[in-house]
Structure 1
Amino acid sequence: MPRRAVAIADNLANTAENRALDFINARSTTAPTAPLKVALVTAAGDDATAGTEVAGGSYARQNLTVAAASGGATTNSADLLWTGMPACTIVGWEIWDNAGAPVRLWYGPLGASQTLPAGSEFKVTAGGLSLSIS
């Protein structure tokens, strides 16, 4: 199984950008509800609109754990593994919180689309997902 990595630099959703600014400027803000979840998408979203999430098979969003930020960046500290995937072409990622009405925080493209056959796995090893604000 090939290692897959993606860097998401400055791809905060509008909601996350607003919350970050409110936090930095000492305004009231709502923290994301843990655990954060990584979703895979078959059609990319943008700052304001979510992409089309993978559906079918045994697909489910995966919990994200990250290392402490340093230099304005962090990475996933544990592998992300999706098993029993439906046949699909993954074009990108989204990171959501785990609230009752989940909030999309990050989004971004894969370096190259990945076409998967039904029943396959998709894995991102620890350190393979980089998040930065730059």
Structure 2
Amino acid sequence: MADNLTDTAENLVLDWINGVGSPTRPTTPLKCRLMTANGSDSAGGTEVTNSGGSTYASQNVTVGAASGGATSNTGALTFTNMPAVTVVGVEIWDSAGSPVRLWHGPLAANKTTNLGDTFEIPVGDLDLSIG
């Protein structure tokens, strides 16, 4: 997800780099949410919702140290017992009491799941970069 920081995250980074104010670090663990409609820098998308007995839930995501302005997930993200849905993108949120949306982006290709399917993002396939 190159250049897919939300406006909120962009402001946090700029304030931190420029020594302005006291930007608050995101609350970990970060959470990966699957989207049925993608958002933008300023507005969230539509998250997958459960139906028909599915148990979709956002997943904790960890990333490695950045190198060359980029990083990626260090563990597979496995979403089990999905609803029948078409996933078009992902968003990364922190886990604060009032969660903050940090990243957003489309999948390389939409993925349709049937009720009960597992959706997985393998290690290293969730790429985050600035630029």
Identity %: 57
Aligned residue identity for 1:85: M
Q: Residue 88 of structure 1 corresponds to which residue in structure 2? A: 85
Q: CA deviation at 1:83?
A: 0.2
Structure 2: give runs of 5+ residues left out of the alignment. none
Q: Give the structure 1 partner of residue 10 of structure 2.
A: 17
Offset at residue 98 of structure 1 (A): 0.3
Higher relative contact order (CA 8 A, sep 6+): 1
CA deviations over 1:36-93 (Å, ceiling 9, x no partner):
0000000110011100000101111100110110000001000100000000000000
TM-score, scaled to structure 2: 0.96
1:105 to 2:98 alignment: no
Indicate yes or no: 2:49 matched with 1:61. Answer: no
Cα drift, residue 120 of structure 1: 0.1
Q: How many residues are paired up?
A: 127
Question: One-letter code of the match for 1:66?
Answer: V
Which consecutive segments of 4 or more residues in structure 1 shift more than 3 A?
none
Give runs of aligned pairs for residues 6-45 of structure 1, distance below 5 A: 8-27=1-20, 28-45=22-39
Instruction: Give the Cα–Cα distance (whole angstroms) in 2 for the partners of residues 18 and 29 of structure 1.
Output: 9
Distance in 1 (CA, whole Å) between partners of 2:38 and 2:62 is 23
TM-score normalized by structure 1? 0.93
CA apart distance, 1:110: 0.5
CA distance in 1: counterparts of 2:15 and 2:45, whole angstroms: 25
Over aligned residues, Cα RMSD in angstroms?
Answer: 0.5
- C-alpha distance in 2, partners of 1:44/1:77? 24
Shift of 1:30: 0.5
